[in-house]
Amino acid sequence: MKKWKLIFLAALIIFAALQLFNPARTNPPVKNDIITATKPPKSISASLRAACYDCHSHETFWPFYARIAPVSWLIASDVNEGREHLNFSDWPTEADRAAIKMDRINEVLDYREMPPIKYTLIHADARLTEAQRKEIMDWTAVIAQKFRSGTPSQ
Ligand code: HEC
């Protein structure tokens, strides 16, 4: 057999073997959904769902390529890390903690850190317009203040 054929065959075997080690694609039960808890305007709920929920909730849409290693590991680690930092399906019930989370959302949107570019490159519907970004930011500021003055939700 020619050398390149052997290399190709070896790569194929390694790729196939990797598929045995795909991470779990979980969607645990929703505990306290941010939208249910804070009742934002419909336009904001839609933006959050389109731009954030895949990584920051228990309602992740796992695409077909999330089943294929090694891409599956990258996606699963983003989702796990995203949920760990901020979980819209496990929204804090304590007003002071919720206020801090609102501040953080405001901050990452201000610095355009979220949604990550690597994500919006593939997910056009997750790209926020300036108006959508501003709308969420203004809302987080109002809600954070409400939480701090002791009148949670709307
Ligand atoms: C592709 C997955 C992905 C998407 C989509 C995404 N995030 Fe994130 N986000 C992460 C990951 C991973 C982290 C933790 C590591 C980091 O800070 O980069 C994070 C961190 C954060 C943090 C910091 C939390 C803290 O206090 O430490 C906030 C706030 C945040 N994201 C908000 C958002 C918002 C709001 C959206 C939607 C507009 C969004 N993210 C979309 C993956 C994502």
The fraction of the chain above a pLDDT of 90, given in percent, is 95
How far apart are the C-alpha atoms of 125 and 133, rounded to whole Å? 14
pLDDT bracket for residue 1 (50, 70, 90) = confident
Q: Residue 151 has what pLDDT?
A: 64
Residue 16 in tokens: 């196939």
Centre of ligand 1 to C-alpha 137, Å, is 15
Tell me whether residue 107 is in a domain: yes
Ligand 1 pocket check for 104: Cβ under 6 Å = yes
Read off the pLDDT of residues 44-78 as tens digits, 9 standing for 90 and up.
Answer: 999 999 999 999 999 999 999 999 999 999 999 99
CB of residue 54 inside a 6 A radius of ligand 1: yes
| 86 Cα–ligand 1 center, Å | 7
Which residues lie closer than 8 Å to 92 by C-beta, 6 or more apart?
32, 98, 101
Instruction: Answer whether residue 152 shows pLDDT above 60.
Output: no
pTM, rounded to two decimals:
0.93
Task: Kindly state whether residue 15 falls inside one of the protein's structural domains.
Answer: no
For residue 108, being part of any structural domain is answered with: yes
What is the number of domains present in the chain? 1
* End-to-end C-alpha distance for the chain, whole angstroms: 71
Cis peptide before 115 (omega within 30 of 0): yes
Boundaries of domain holding 144: 24-148
Atom of ligand 1 nearest to the CA of 47: 38
